[in-house]
Structure 1
Amino acid sequence: MKLSQKLYLERKNKNLTKQALAKELNELSGFSNYFKKEITLLESKQKAFTYRIVDDIAKYFNMTIYQFLTKQWKSYNTEEITLIDNNIEEYFHGYSERMPKTFKNLSDIIHKFDLVNHDDWVAIPKYDLIMREYYDYLYRDVSKESSSIIIRRAKGLLDNLDLFSSYNHENDLQFPINLETDFAGYTKFNDKREPINMNILIQNIEFSLGEIRQLFEDDYFDYDEEDTKYFNLLNYYREKLDIRFEDIEKDLGISSAEYRKWEKGEIDPSISNIIKICDYLNINIDLLSSSSLRTLNNINSQSVGSYILQNTNIHDSEELSKDYYFSERQSVILIPKYCYEYMFYYLEDKTHKDIGIKKAIQFTREFFVKWYEFNKARQFLFYSLTGVVAKENFIHYTEKEIKRYLGDSYYPENPVKFLTQLTLDRVENYGYKDKKQIINRIKQIDIERVLKSPEKTNLRPEVN
């Protein structure tokens, strides 16, 4: 989609004339003087888009440069965006009195809910699973029990799990997005039945936050500096990678004399040349714009509807309702569907045999404790995440992302490490940071050295 078409659509969506848009751009631009004729030339492809023009346009329309450059047709469906926004607002009002009165922005719901693709995840009521099923069927020491007793108990667990996880999202009457929540109650921080050490989990999450922040603080240092110019940042990233002017001329065919003028702010290069330079420096173009960085870190820079349409493959609210649902992070435990199915059929298979049922019970116990810890960790992590990291992790991970770091396992040995890898991988996938640096950091996380290990020996604290 051409930039000229995008400029036209953005202007029409705001019901602006060319002269009115030129006036608005002049009020925020520190570089250019805009006129009605210039807007006409840009929209008719008679004038090339330079970096400064694109930066001004993106800033005015409350986007990052990257969002403006990559925005597709479906994201201009303003009627559908408004419909999704209105239905989400009405839907949550009927759901809970604890929620805000309006849902114009993502931050209104992002700390309480996940947007989940039902093809990838199974949702189970957290309270029922941990406070009832876990303690009724899984916590016991099975080493001294007979196989017949264990099998009878396993069948009872399977019956309840089958009931819990058999939601048919498409047939629910909720609109536009179904909601999975556990009305039985929440697992509290100080609950005596809590199967994991919450203090250790919180300490480990603090480490995870440190890893995430360390990656972004260096490159987002100028977030609050209103007067930071792109050419200063261009110079910063080139010198950071120890790239010479001669290297740019040799590798990209851009004369070193012309490029020096870019870094001095004497020439406003074409947007295509800046994209070429950013690819060469292996950075996202938003890192050159202080206004884009502010928008990127502003979790309320988009409405809920526009964010969902731009970050999913969904084109309308009906399709959205069929494919996704909201899951309340505090009360529902989410487990990857392919992992859940393996656990379920593995345990079911062993109930028909005398051999292997004890091992299957032990596997199932560890399976639920680890995925429970993963869900708890994600809940705590979202209390502290803001900006791009929170936004990109609001839509829950896909099976492909899970398998990338889970490998051949069906539950994470260290849920916090696993969560940290997924969080960083999601941001890396959206291109907001040097990919090599994030990939290396993900691989090098030394969880045994830094994180405290959970207490495996006490999966069932005494219950008063």
Structure 2
Amino acid sequence: MERLNEELSRKKLAKSLNKFFKTTYYTERIIGLIESNEAYLKFDVVDEMCCFFNLTIQDLLYKKWSEYNQDFTDYLHNKITKHCHLPDENRTRIHQFSQLISHFNLVNKQDWVSFPKYDFIQRVYYDYFEKNVIDYSTCEIALNTFKFHYPNYLYKNNSGLVIKHDSAGILSVADHRDPISNDALKNGVEKIEHAIGLLLEVNTHKYDQGLFTSHNIEKLIEYFRCHNISLNNLSSNTLIPLSTLKNLYKNPKKLYFKDIHTLCNYLDFPINEISNYTSDIQDNIDAKNIGEHLAKLTNTGEIESFNQQYYLTSQETQLLIPSYCYESFIRQMKKDLNRGSDETMLFMEFKHFIFQWHFFNKLKILLSQKLNGKIGRDLFYMFTKTEIESALGNKLYPSNPVNLLGTLALNRISKFDNTSNKELQEIIEEQFK
């Protein structure tokens, strides 16, 4: 599939592989044998193939058909490079995925609702809430502004890709109308980065216990030694011949991919860890078409389906609020206003609702700009309703946006890195409770 997707003949692929890896191993006949008899693929050959096509081994095993739909991925790539811009004076077009994840969010329409930041923060919040104009009318103005800007088009049948951007919302970081100080943001993001570092450290030591710095197959040998794993037990439990397992020590180049895959599954050892190339591939996110990244993140392969379910929103100019939080809060606020509830209480509740979600959004902006590679990609797709409810509990806005974003980020990263739940919860409890 990868060869055909790149429009390479077997002869041309063999020539390209030999040049890329400085070898003479690959021939048109070898490529044919590789494609026709996968059971006898050597692990090193698979590893090199993955590197050449810019895939991790996990990508190769689980890549879905949607990522091969060239018309779909090209459509997304072309739309984004044409309509997405950097927040600079020249409106520089975005051409790389690393640029996109630093300035935009990929959003599921069912999970988040987007509003123009300028109207809510630089106008309504600054003119009324920041100046403590405590009155029913302040809440009514905020309600009317939400109603006016509610993006109904997101829930209609969209024929095109929706990209939410409002140039009026791009203001100086020192704009006096923004209620959040740069110091508060910096401190919050540093706390989240520190927690991410702790999580990555746990993942690094999960399989090596800090005892080795080797690569490829040698990592498995070290793992056996650290955990007192015998080859005889492995052979009987995995049905891999003992003679094959001994090649881990004698001649790793003789190892077949199917045996390594079986071994990793049995040990719950990530197969990417023993690749010579995976770490570089994971962080080289700009080597892939933007559309292919979106297809993988959403598991969608049809233009119409993607446009109906997802949209892109500018981090700098849009205020994102979880849909269920927004709808429940607005519904309750309308009831309380109609009942004539205490105006000070309603004012403060509305003020906190806007402020805390604005703080959350600004933290996400700064965090996105500081993260890159695999982790930046993992956090580009905004958190799902299930993820938010799990971290937020029965509240409709965070009492501490740093803790909420930190918890969401760690949970998302751990999902892709197979961190044990116990270790994850220990870090969350220590850093964000």
TM score, norm. by length of structure 2: 0.87
1:446 aligned onto 2:431 = yes
Superposition map of 1:425-436 within 5 A: 425-430=411-416, 432-436=417-421
More displaced stretch, 35-44 vs 401-410: 35-44
Whole-Å separation in 2 of the counterparts to 1:43 and 1:321: 35
1:162 aligned onto 2:147 = yes
Residues 117 and 324 in structure 1, CA contact (< 8 A), matched pair in contact too: yes
Which residue in the other structure is 1:183 paired with? Answer: 167
Superposition map of 1:352-371 within 5 A: 352-371=338-357
Which residue in the other structure is 2:83 paired with? Answer: 91
One-letter code of the match for 1:168?
Y
Whole-Å separation in 1 of the counterparts to 2:224 and 2:404: 33
Whole-Å separation in 2 of the counterparts to 1:137 and 1:333: 18
117, 134, 148: which one aligns with 1:126 = 117
1:290 aligned onto 2:261 = no
One-letter code of the match for 2:192?
S
Q: Secondary structure at the match of 1:409?
A: coil
124, 129, 144: which one aligns with 1:138 = 129
Query: Deviation digits for residues 436-455 of structure 1, max 9, x if unmatched?
Result: 4762355333336xxxxxxx
123, 135, 138: which one aligns with 1:150 = 135
Which residue in the other structure is 1:112 paired with? Answer: 103
One-letter code of the match for 2:174?
N
Whole-Å separation in 1 of the counterparts to 2:336 and 2:321: 21
Q: Secondary structure at the match of 1:195?
A: coil
More displaced stretch, 435-444 vs 420-429: 435-444
1:63 aligned onto 2:55 = yes
Q: Secondary structure at the match of 2:405?
A: helix
Q: Secondary structure at the match of 2:105?
A: strand
Q: Secondary structure at the match of 2:135?
A: helix
Which residue in the other structure is 2:66 paired with? Answer: 74
Could you tell me how far 1:302 is from its partner in structure 2?
1.3
Q: Secondary structure at the match of 1:111?
A: helix
Residues 329 and 375 in structure 1, CA contact (< 8 A), matched pair in contact too: yes
Q: Secondary structure at the match of 1:116?
A: strand
Query: Deviation digits for residues 178-208 of structure 1, max 9, x if unmatched?
Result: 2222333335433333323431321221121
46, 50, 68: which one aligns with 1:54 = 46
One-letter code of the match for 1:69?
L
Could you tell me how far 1:406 is from its partner in structure 2?
1.1
196, 199, 206: which one aligns with 2:190 = 206
Give the RMSD, CA atoms, in angstroms: 3.2
Which residue in the other structure is 1:455 paired with? Answer: none
Could you tell me how far 1:106 is from its partner in structure 2?
0.5
Could you tell me how far 1:90 is from its partner in structure 2?
2.2
404, 425, 430: which one aligns with 1:418 = 404
Q: Secondary structure at the match of 1:445?
A: helix
Which residue in the other structure is 2:393 paired with? Answer: 407
Which residue in the other structure is 1:462 paired with? Answer: none
More displaced stretch, 256-265 vs 112-121: 256-265
Query: Deviation digits for residues 239-293 of structure 1, max 9, x if unmatched?
Result: 5556554653465444666434225543543333323333344343212113111
One-letter code of the match for 2:406?
T
Whole-Å separation in 2 of the counterparts to 1:357 and 1:118: 33
Residues 114 and 318 in structure 2, CA contact (< 8 A), matched pair in contact too: yes
Q: Secondary structure at the match of 1:109?
A: helix
Whole-Å separation in 1 of the counterparts to 2:123 and 2:167: 14
Whole-Å separation in 2 of the counterparts to 1:280 and 1:37: 33
Cα gap change, 1:405 to 1:163, in 2 (>3 Å): same
Which residue in the other structure is 1:262 paired with? Answer: 248
Which residue in the other structure is 1:454 paired with? Answer: none
For structure 2, which runs of at least 5 residues remain unmatched after alignment? none
Could you tell me how far 1:31 is from its partner in structure 2?
9.0
Residues 282 and 435 in structure 1, CA contact (< 8 A), matched pair in contact too: no
Whole-Å separation in 1 of the counterparts to 2:231 and 2:128: 67
Residues 389 and 423 in structure 1, CA contact (< 8 A), matched pair in contact too: no
Whole-Å separation in 1 of the counterparts to 2:24 and 2:39: 14
Which residue in the other structure is 1:326 paired with? Answer: 312
Could you tell me how far 1:133 is from its partner in structure 2?
1.5
Could you tell me how far 1:346 is from its partner in structure 2?
1.0
Cα gap change, 1:429 to 1:376, in 2 (>3 Å): same
Q: Secondary structure at the match of 1:62?
A: coil
Could you tell me how far 1:343 is from its partner in structure 2?
1.1
Which residue in the other structure is 1:459 paired with? Answer: none
Cα gap change, 1:157 to 1:326, in 2 (>3 Å): same
Cα gap change, 1:230 to 1:436, in 2 (>3 Å): farther
One-letter code of the match for 1:181?
H
1:379 aligned onto 2:370 = no
One-letter code of the match for 1:284?
P
Could you tell me how far 1:405 is from its partner in structure 2?
1.1
Whole-Å separation in 2 of the counterparts to 1:335 and 1:274: 45
Could you tell me how far 1:159 is from its partner in structure 2?
0.9
Query: Deviation digits for residues 75-95 of structure 1, max 9, x if unmatched?
Result: 111122222222222223799
More displaced stretch, 116-125 vs 196-205: 196-205
Could you tell me how far 1:34 is from its partner in structure 2?
2.7
Whole-Å separation in 2 of the counterparts to 1:379 and 1:264: 50
Whole-Å separation in 1 of the counterparts to 2:62 and 2:240: 25
For structure 1, which runs of at least 5 residues remain unmatched after alignment? 1-8, 143-148, 449-464
Could you tell me how far 1:305 is from its partner in structure 2?
0.8
Which residue in the other structure is 2:36 paired with? Answer: 44
Whole-Å separation in 1 of the counterparts to 2:314 and 2:273: 33
Cα gap change, 1:244 to 1:421, in 2 (>3 Å): farther
Q: Secondary structure at the match of 1:33?
A: coil
Query: Deviation digits for residues 88-118 of structure 1, max 9, x if unmatched?
Result: 2222379987454562x30232211111122
Which residue in the other structure is 1:25 paired with? Answer: 17
Whole-Å separation in 2 of the counterparts to 1:219 and 1:30: 33
